[in-house]
Amino acid sequence: MVKTMMKNKMYLVTGGAGFIGSNLCKLLVSKGAKVVALDNLSIGDNNVAFLEDLGVDVVVEDIRSYDAIENHFAGVDVVVHLAAMNRAQRSIENPIEANEVNITGALNCLEAARKHSVGRFVNISSSSVYANQRDVLLREDMELAPPHPYGVGKLTSEHYARTYYELFGLETVSLRFFSVYGPRQLGHIDKAGVVAKFIHKALRDETIEVYGDGEQMRNFSYVEDVAECVARASVNEGAVGEVINVANPNEVSINAIVKLVEEVVGKKLRVEHLDPLQGDPARNPANTEKCQRMLGYSPTHSFEEGITLTTDWHRA
């Protein structure tokens, strides 16, 4: 049903040349959608050839410039807004830039979508909007107190998305991602995701750096599962105006990742423990009931399978 509803629709994916964006574009194309990826290539152009081979039109522009991106929203049925300056530590080090990308950039995309009467706007938010909680499942209706500028920016984008729905009738839905990992995630870049970084270093016999005691827990979510949720949110009528957690419900510790990567690569890893990161919560456990009920979807990849598939991609 989802595939039928998406066939021949025009999707614009901001941040489409990134890790999650390139995986999402692949899924959208497989479901018969026409796809444009809009990206400033700030992380690199390593996915451009991959996207072009899929038939995706890659547009190199920056969402911070409304005039540069506005015309690319014409004729679009669905916008998936992924472009962001991600990672908490980046935002702590550069709060002004984080604000320009994650707040002004989101507003520019919403306004361009409104101007060109886009049918649906899927705003990608983050678990970073939640305050640090140790023993409470994070629900969409909780009081929020983001601990860093990245979380503040993502929460602000949710408020803007809601406002554009309530004031202007633009169909919006915000999805809060939790610790996405998988193939096409780079492990050598600055502030790399922990799974990609560990695998990258393990395959090169480099020391694995663990912040704190390594007992931090996360709902690591395989990118193909996350992309499927985005696809469903883009056509599900009941999702309009909603905020939905998108996560694997099972928590995994950083130390458990080290052990699993050791098993998959077949070698003992050298681990160095560093001071804990500022603003890094011990847990951020997701309540995924709403996603299951509203989008009718639960993850299909176990963490062990996801690590194996991700390692295979890094090896290749």
Q: What is the pLDDT of residue 1?
A: 62
189 pLDDT above the threshold of 80: no
Q: What is the pLDDT of residue 192?
A: 81
Question: Worst-scoring range by mean pLDDT, 53-67, 134-148, 210-224, 287-301?
Answer: 134-148
pLDDT band, residue 4 (cuts 50/70/90): confident
Contact 162, 222 (CB under 8 A): no
Query: Residue 182 contacts by C-beta under 8 Å, 6 or more apart in sequence?
Result: 19, 23, 222, 223, 224, 306, 309, 310, 313
Q: Per residue in 233-270, is it b (16+ CB within 10 Å) or e — as a string?
A: bbbbeebeebbbbbbbbebbebeebbebbbebbeeebe
- Map out the domains of the chain with their CATH numbers: 7-181+221-250+287-299 (3.40.50.720)
Beta-bridge mates of residue 122:
80, 173
Q: Kindly report the CA angle at 287 between 180 and 149, in degrees rounded to 5?
A: 55
- How far from the centroid of its chain's Cα atoms is residue 59's Cα? 20
Beta-bridge mates of residue 246:
177
Helix (H, G, I), strand (E, B), or coil: what is residue 25? helix
Q: What is the pLDDT of residue 131?
A: 73
Percentage of residues in the chain having pLDDT higher than 70: 98
pLDDT band, residue 134 (cuts 50/70/90): low
- Mean pLDDT over the full length of the chain: 94
Query: Residue 149 contacts by C-beta under 8 Å, 6 or more apart in sequence?
Result: 91, 92, 95, 98, 99
Residue 133 DSSP class? -
Beta-bridge mates of residue 272:
209
Phi, psi of 229 (to 5 degrees): -65, -40
Both structure tokens of 61: 């522009």
Report the distance separating Cα 242 and Cα 158, nearest Å. 10
